[in-house]
Amino acid sequence: MIAHGNKIKLFAGNGSPELAQAIAKELNMPLGNISVSKFSDGETSVQIGETVRGCDVFIIQSTSTPVNDNLFELFVMIDAMRRASAGRITAVIPYFGYARQDRKARARDPITAKLVADLLTSAGADRVLTMDLHAPQIQGFFDIPVDNLLGASVLCNYIKDLPFAKSEDLIVVSPDVGSVSRARSIATKLEVGLAIVDKRRPKANVMEVMNIVGDVKGKTCLLVDDMIDTAGTITQGAKALIEVGGAKEVFVCCTHAVMSGPAIERLENSVINKVYHLNTIQIPEEKRLDKFEEITVAPIFARAIESIFAELPLSRLYE
């Protein structure tokens, strides 16, 4: 760890304790002494057990399920650090909740991604470190620096050495038009072709029709998305690749494994061979399937924290 005049301290909430421990281990330092619990009426209680005066503080907290609890914990931890005279406070949010509500899709819709950005700033955060924002333009919602790490590099470094990735028949597939940019980035890194699942509804109350843009017949497909929530899009896309496109097998990779609602059942009963996901979200033991394979983001977050603390550029982490 490179040091300057101030001390660095890491703290973790209840949103991602395993990842926080792994990041601390990468940095060869302990997590700070903090108690994050609830009062009997459900209000969040935070007690910092050591001095943070003048320190460069990093609070590690994914705002995944339970989203509102984890988000409010983060607000209270930031406020506590600010009132304890921390020198600088960086909110390390591996998974940024509410990122999908980034615009008014319908009349009278809220833009909660902007609201969360304002609340983080008001609470006292000086900087945000996150990974694969659902919409990159959310960085512009903040009036403080935001570093948005790219999960594609971590996924590619892991996947490129797997047996299926060395197949001459490998092709990367985007599950919808909105994910094409992300899929193209991984296809370029793996030096393979790109296909797209084009999903459209001909008219109201008519079943969606799946078309495959690109030749996937007899090929090994790698479906790429930034997150798997209820798994509807990804499982339907995989089914279309097999039944409509004639693909040989389907693998999936994503940054954020949200896995809500019927996701586990859908994935378990799907044609997907394996799901490779990053550990930005801590999946409960009861939701972990044999076809899930977790890839850690601890090293890249540790390097980012080290760079921020030492005032070094983060550009090397995007290469």
Asked whether 255 and 131 are in contact (CB, 8 A), the reply is yes
Q: How many CB atoms lie within 10 A of CB 117?
A: 23
Q: Three-state SS string across the chain, please?
A: CCCCCCCEEEEECCCCHHHHHHHHHHCCCCECCEEEEECCCCCEEEEECCCCECCEEEEECCCCCCHHHHHHHHHHHHHHHHHCCECEEEEEECCCCCCCCCCCCCCCCCCHHHHHHHHHHHHCCCEEEEECCCCHHHHHHCCCCEEEECHHHHHHHHHCCCHHHHCCCEEEEECCHHHHHHHHHHHHHHCCEEEEEEEECCCCCCCCEEEEECCCCCCEEEEEEEEECCCHHHHHHHHHHHHCCCCCEEEEEEEEECCCCCHHHHHHCCCEEEEEEECCCCCCHHHCCCCEEEECCHHHHHHHHHHHHCCCCCHHHHC
Give the span between the Cα atoms of 198 and 114, in whole angstroms.
30
Among 199, 239, 274, 291, the one annotated catalytic: 199
Q: Is 199 a catalytic residue?
A: yes
Identify the sign of the CA torsion 23, 25, 28, 31: positive
Give the span between the Cα atoms of 173 and 196, in whole angstroms.
5
| Residues with a known catalytic role | 199
